[in-house]
Structure 1
């Protein structure tokens, strides 16, 4: 089976969340045109925004001189997203489960769980500074 890619783009931007959110909006517009359901668009939006905010806040430590790279490949069947920061990285397995014990009442710490919950596939590179997320279109054209 061959998947025709309709959009593929790599965008490097300074870690300014408002600018990165505009990029997220552009990706969601493409998903809408390709017939992704509102639920799928919500999942993509939530996961992408969480990954971008994590890259800026935790990866780049809010250093606006450091870049965040968003790359995406979009087809009617699936969207693949990569978010990469210039930080030191982290081990996803070291992130505490926000659903257990004292973590339940903490204000943050749910981004990684949300991303995993809403995407079909989530992988981190060995350095821990890049996440690759895949969302299958629940209603492919």
Structure 2
């Protein structure tokens, strides 16, 4: 992995699903620039696009007048991502377990599960300004990240 210089990269997108291509491109560019492994690159890209997609669809209800703010804070051993929407929020504890048999065939409801499976230290903050989702990805190499092992998120 390359020597990583601390920096913060910010992007604001409108609540349109076509914006996810720009978000994915940003994730891939960051991953390439700092020398992430293929698994780390895929995990970061999935986590960011899934979180922004949830912000667009569920938070901002696809209202193109509402923005989604993204900040990627790069440190030598961690990438921290913040995604802020303008929505009313939700209760993370009330979400269905996508692994329950009655949920296995549902087309949605896996985003936060995926995020918690791929990333470290996932948190949610709610305010009158909207919902802030934050997560971190450790850049320390481990046998799990090297072989693509996905951990089951804690409940």
Q: Normalising to structure 1: TM-score of the pair?
A: 0.87
1:131 aligns with 2:133: yes
Q: Contact 1:8/1:74 (CA < 8 Å) preserved in 2?
A: yes
Q: Normalising to structure 2: TM-score of the pair?
A: 0.80
Q: Mark the runs of 5 or more structure 2 residues left unpaired by the alignment.
A: 143-155
Mapped partners of 2:72, 2:9: distance in 1:
6
- How far is the alpha carbon of 1:126 from its aligned partner? 3.5
Mapped partners of 1:58, 1:134: distance in 2:
22
Q: Contact 2:28/2:41 (CA < 8 Å) preserved in 1?
A: yes
Superposed counterparts of 1:78-89, under 5 Å? 78-89=78-89
Instruction: Please identify runs of 4+ aligned residues in structure 1 that moved more than 6 A.
Output: none
Q: Contact 1:14/1:67 (CA < 8 Å) preserved in 2?
A: yes
Q: Contact 1:34/1:76 (CA < 8 Å) preserved in 2?
A: no
Q: Mark the runs of 5 or more structure 1 residues left unpaired by the alignment.
A: none
Higher mean C-alpha deviation, range 125-134 or range 30-39: 125-134
Mapped partners of 2:44, 2:140: distance in 1:
12
- How far is the alpha carbon of 1:111 from its aligned partner? 0.5
Q: Which residue of 1 aligns with 2:23?
A: 23
1:75 aligns with 2:75: yes
Aligned residues: 137
- Structure-2 change in CA distance of 1:120 and 1:16 (3 Å): same
Mapped partners of 1:101, 1:139: distance in 2:
34
- Structure-2 change in CA distance of 1:27 and 1:107 (3 Å): closer
